[in-house]
Amino acid sequence: MQKRIKKLIACLCCLAMMVPLCAIPASSDSEPAAEESSSDGDAPADEDDYAMDEDEPLITDEQAMAEMKLAVENDKLALWYNDKDITLALVDKNTGEIWWSNPINADASAGKAAQKQELKSGMTLIFGEPAARRTTQSHSKAKSTAKMKATATGLEVSYEFSQAEITIPVVFTLHDDYMSLNVVTKDIDEKTASKIVTDMAFMSAFGAADMEEEGYFVIPDGSGAVINFNNNKAGYRVYKGKVYGRDITAVNTTKPTMNRQVYLPMYGIVKGDSGMMVVADKGDTCASINAYVAGQKKTSYNACYFDFEIRTSDEYLMGGEANPLRVFEKRGILVPEIEVRYYPVSNSDKSEVDYTDIAATYRNYLKTAQGVEKSPAADSSALYMDFYGATMKRETVLGFPVTMQHKTTTFSDAKNILEQLKGLGVDNMVVNYNQWTTADIKEKVADKAKPASVLGGKSDFDALMDYAKSNNITIYPEVDNLTFKSGSGYFTMTDTAVRVSNAYSRQIEYDLAHGTENKFYKAMSLLSPRKYAKMFTNLSKSYSKYGLDTISLGSTTTAIYGDYGKKSISREMFKYNLQGYMEELKGSVPSILADGANAYVLKYVDHVSDVPLNSSKFDVFDGDIPFYQIVMSGLKPVSTTAVNGDAQVADLVLRAIACGSNLRFDFTAETADELKDTRYDVLYYSNYKYWLEDAAGCYKFAEEVLSQTAGAEITDYNILSEGEIETVYSNGVKTVVDLNGRTVTVNGKTISIYDYVGEEAIG
């Protein structure tokens, strides 16, 4: 009885803290809402609805397991099921932890009947009705007839939603060290064209924790974040992060929320000496990560799960209409398969699991399942930098306004910067050179290695590359063909991606003050994924012919989108095509730098630049972690966002060292006033003359530590006290970063950033 009273008090406390009128949405995207939708139990609950159900007895794991049947097992795992309740249990034999598909005490938990039905459901379906332009949400426990049976390798479950006239088969398979969930979309039975599947979520309460459990979720938002169970943040919206960012084919009329990218299609659950790493192996481009804590969804549980938007939608305004009309993808389901893998995580010594163990499990998945190999560059540290060649600027010539190429950092300027840095003691540099071809400067598709004459032409470019090769400097000439204007063999009338609404996708700039379209810049066409084959083939031939063996692909490694015209290509199809193009490219241009990297390109890149050290900082988060950097440690070298573009230089440098990240700077030869009214005006801080000595000092400070940790994996990362971070590497090196004292101790030797960089630069 006392146990129930304790739960009731905790539940009522969470309810009392709910402040929906001032809650901040915790969503990574600004997806349009449906014109009309219905759901099971999203309405606010009153205190009576939220009270624990005293009439329902609490049951133990042992009692629940007594009702289960063994489906299949191996040396590490066992899969059990109950074909009456349509539940399953994955047992980790190393720890004895039982991972339930649904909470066994859902009926006794707080919440209305609808919330309890959701907790007990194995699947949530959202189906659309194109004629009515609306969507409806249904939970399998309340709205479907489900059948479950054991097979030689696992389980088969069929969900039949009579209201939607849709049947969805799901297959669970037990593997050596994980369980997989698979849905082959061609097997989905949509009995009528008037009701179509738009979104699916499976086992949304898998591994859910009640209000007495301690632990947290690992969310790969930006660098990474944790959400503690029962963190008393019921007043905020649940977290929803679109994997790889939103589909930019649809164009928002107002500026979307600027959030960090979700680069990795996974999440983690940590519970004491047990953990779970969950990864979307297939269908990841249409996945979103959802997480909520006790009280947020009017239940007493904490849960994290994927949902998959397998048909995208768009909105448009008709003349005279105040509200936008929603339209759905017309050409069937363009996502061939969904696969989610569940990897139990534990330590052989039965010690507690933490997010470094989740990271190690995901890193091993990348190696074994995705073929990601260690980059040779991972064994050394370097100073990373971005040079910006030229851009278009409106000038006045003989009294007439003319848009001309405006040089920002010529090839001679770049060589001069590198020479000065070399003289200051920087002995290893990696350079990403932006806008170095005439086509790129003129905002056309750049698929040929032709140095721009405005920057010095072929002779100056060759001199720059020769100097770099002789001085341990690697230059990656960048191409970024995300948006374009007609020319160079590509035309906006035929090569622009088409939106679901059947309009061309024109990417607009947003006004910083109001978030509406900035008319100063013309809208740019989004290059159709259908044209990437031509673009990559031309790049491969041209770079190889020129003798270039390095390339940077700009937005290609972070932007994934579809084309929904007559020859539709979904994000998932584009992903597989892109992997093929990059495989082909590496045959002639073997080294690729990624300016940020989604998981599906990690196999093909050697460097990952511009990786943030923080998350989107949603209110439901309880802290940032360098999860991405920990995953990449010993695998791919990563660098920070621009150090000189940050207001807290010392803090960024020290946090980078704490997670083994290299430093990156932005450099231009022009001053801020010359960048005004160009697309480079955001680089007001980047003039190299003010930063060279400090950049060299920061590099040498970091090099003292990173030279000892490069190539090793991070095995432990601890916040010792406020401002102190301890990092342990697989080669035995241990570092302690003191953010307050601005020092780093590595293997007993303490160094201060003030010994390398002037206080006026770092504050």
| pLDDT value at residue 109 | 87
SS3 sequence, 674-714? HHCCCCCHHHCCCEHHHCHHHHHHHHHHHHHHHHHHCCCCE
**C-beta atoms surrounding 287 within 10 Å:** 27
Task: Report the sign of the C-alpha dihedral through residues 91, 96, 98, 104, in that order.
Answer: positive
| pLDDT given for residue 133 in this prediction | 87
Mean of per-residue pLDDT scores for the chain: 90
pLDDT of amino acid 322: 62
Q: Note the pLDDT tens digit of each residue in 395-437.
A: 877 777 788 899 999 999 999 999 999 999 999 999 999 999 9
If you ran DSSP here, which 8-state letter would residue 237 be given? Answer: P
pLDDT of 35 over the 60 cut: no
pTM of the model: 0.92
Distance CA 150, CA 152 (A): 7
Helix (H) or strand (E) run with residue 78 in it: strand 77-82
Reduced to 3 states (helix: H, G, I; strand: E, B; else coil), residue 613 is: coil
Give the integer Cα–Cα distance in Å for 211 and 601: 39
Residue-wise pLDDT tens digits, 694-742: 999 999 999 999 999 999 999 999 999 889 999 999 999 999 999 999 9
CA distance 529 to 541: 20
Each residue's pLDDT tens digit, 9-31:
444 444 444 333 333 334 444 33
Interval 664-706: pLDDT, tens? 999 999 999 999 888 899 999 999 999 999 999 999 999 999 9
Are 121 and 106 contacting, i.e. CB atoms less than 8 angstroms apart? no
* The predicted structure's pLDDT at residue 54: 58
Bridge partners for 184 per DSSP = 337
Per DSSP, what are the bridge partners of residue 302? 209
> What average pLDDT does range 164-178 have in this prediction?
97
- Residue 53: the pLDDT is 62
Segment 553-609, tens digit of pLDDT: 999 999 999 999 988 999 999 999 999 999 999 999 999 999 999 999 999 999 999
* Helix runs in 273-410, H state only: 355-369
